[in-house]
Chain A
């Protein structure tokens, strides 16, 4: 058979593409629920860790069932618009943070998720997400705020493609645990985001140590937190 004829080439490629596409479609559909479950679990885990739940000495528990913890502790979720008013009919958990980030940047209707979490000590924490651009790709995280509306209980950050060991350190416990107990206000008592300071934040009540060698990621994270907290301060009890 002439394998170089046009008809043969076209038929051959068509059949090949159809077979390959079929195999991939089957596999992708079969694995989809698992993949979605992974993504959801990851989100629940992040939310729980930001409230210091499921942690021992600041390190995530390997055995903890974050889905169960999430269902136990999260008592209420809602979304707010850019003026701090509650919006009905939107599920906070399924809000795509990336689309919100774009809406903040380009203007547009905001639906910013808020989680209320009943901690083991009985206090109700407000957990607030944030999302922004790091050095290479997206960075995001969650910050949990005490009932007083200014003290941070805990935080957790994650990233898509920051340099491991440099910008990637924002996802490490040593970095995000620094946020515990910091305040969302400066020394004069005015609202202020957390500042990520180079070379030792010391006892500064709203400053944490930056990652050495990762100036841009540190600065982007600070800007991201500031940008989102500016919206959320409207609902924090001040």
Chain B
């Protein structure tokens, strides 16, 4: 296992900006940085452990019911996380509501299981899963950072933009309401892809 295993999922093979996986459930949770961080962590845990688990079982799974077996394993980890959040971090659980459940169908997880864990030993699968989760989380956090900063003027709930700048207080600044709306997540994501591909020209589509 070389450095590629770690670095590829973060940049050249980033699940969101390059492989186009796992966009579904998560963009709605990027309004605030906190939600994005919890989501990133949850997805990383689920990807890593389900990759590990499936890799351990890889030689025994009947091919015909492969997808169902994978989904059951993934769903188990997701429910564990959901239950744990409900018990130990009720506020976050309320904030993420159905989106925790939707991790099950996050294509990154199934994608990595199909593409990597089914054909590799447990430890590399675990690492591959974890770093894909991180690569995904990284994009989530970048998008959430800009949305929270410009949309609410806060970061992780703390006021970052000085109160005196606001128009209400005699200043010149106003929060950008557009940032809070769901479609803005996609537009920002488009910009992230733009920047990423401007730097790494190999990734450009013909």
Q: Mark B140-179, 1 if CB is under 8 A from A, else 0.
A: 0000000000011000000000000000000000000100
Known contacts A17-B72, A31-B86: does B97 contact A12 (CB below 8 Å)?
no
Contacts of B64 in A (CB 8 A): 4, 9
With known contacts A4-B64, A16-B72, A17-B72, A165–B97 Cβ distance under 8 A: no
Q: Is B87 an interface residue (CB 8 A)?
A: yes
For the complex, give the distance between the alpha carbons of A191 and B95 in Å.
Answer: 36
A110 to B58, CA, bound (A): 55
Q: State whether A3 touches B63 (Cβ < 8 A).
A: yes
Binds B, one of A47-55, A96-104, A116-124, A156-164: A156-164
Contact A27 B90 (CB under 8 A): no
Give residues 109-163 of A contacting B (CB, 8 Å): 137, 160-161, 163
Size of the chain A interface, CB-CB below 8 angstroms:
28
The reply to whether A34 and B80 form a contact with Cβ atoms under 8 Å apart is no
Residues of B within 8 A of A31 (CB): 83-84, 86-87
Contact of B180 with A3 in the complex, beta carbons under 8 Å:
no
Q: Does A38 contact B (CB under 8 A)?
A: yes
Q: Are B76 and A20 within 8 A (Cβ)?
A: yes
- When distances are taken between beta carbons in the complex, the residues of chain B under 8 Å from A203 are none
Neighbouring A residues of B198 by C-beta, 8 Å: none
In the complex, A8→B61 CA distance in Å? 10
A35:B83 contact, CB within 8 angstroms: yes
Chain B residues whose CB sits within 8 angstroms of the CB of A13 once the complex forms: 62, 65, 68-69
B63, closest chain A residue (CB): A4
Collect the chain A residues with CB atoms within 8 Å of residue B182's CB: 163
In the complex, whether A64 has a CB less than 8 A from a CB of chain B is: no
A residues 174-231 in Cβ contact with B at 8 Å: 212-213
Chain A CB within 10 A, most for which of B35, B75, B180: B180
Q: B31 contacts A164, CB within 8 Å?
A: yes
Known: A13-B68, A38-B87, A165-B152. A8 touches B180 (CB 8 A): no
Q: Is B32 in the interface zone, CB < 8 Å from A?
A: yes
Closest residue to A11 on the B side, CB-wise?
B62
Across the interface, name the chain A residue whose C-beta is closest to B86.
A35
Cα distance A164–B185 in the bound complex, in angstroms: 13
| CB of B29, distance to nearest CB on chain A (Å) | 9
Contacting pair B62 A8 (CB below 8 A) = yes
CB contact between B76 and one of A23, A39, A137 (< 8 Å): that residue: A23
**CB <8 Å contact, B63 and A161:** no
A166 on interface, CB distance cutoff 8 Å? yes
Q: Assess the A161–B98 pair: CB atoms within 8 A.
A: yes
Query: In residues 1-51 of chain A, which contact B (Cβ within 8 Å)?
Result: 3-4, 8-9, 12-13, 16-17, 20, 23-24, 27-28, 31, 34-35, 38-39, 42
Q: Do A165 and B60 touch across chains, with their CB atoms under 8 A apart?
A: no
**Contacting pair B177 A213 (CB below 8 A):** yes
**Do B61 and A3 touch across chains, with their CB atoms under 8 A apart?**
yes
Contact A42 to B90, CB < 8 A, known contacts A4-B64, A164-B32, A165-B152: yes
Q: CA separation between A213 and B182, bound complex, in Å?
A: 13
Interchain CB contact (< 8 A) of B88 among A16, A34, A163: A34
Distance from A113 Cβ to chain B, minimum over Cβ atoms (Å)? 21
* Chain B stretch 26-51: residues in CB contact (< 8 A) with chain A: 31-32, 35
User: Is A164 in contact with B83, judged by CB distance below 8 angstroms?
Assistant: no
Known: A12-B61, A35-B86. 11 other contacts (CB 8 A): A3-B60, A3-B63, A9-B64, A12-B65, A13-B65, A27-B83, A31-B83, A160-B94, A160-B97, A164-B95, A166-B177
9 contacts between A and B (CB under 8 A): A12-B62, A12-B65, A20-B72, A35-B86, A39-B90, A161-B97, A163-B31, A163-B182, A166-B177
Q: Which 5 pairs of residues, A with B, have the shortest CB-CB distance?
A: A165-B180, A34-B87, A38-B90, A31-B87, A9-B62
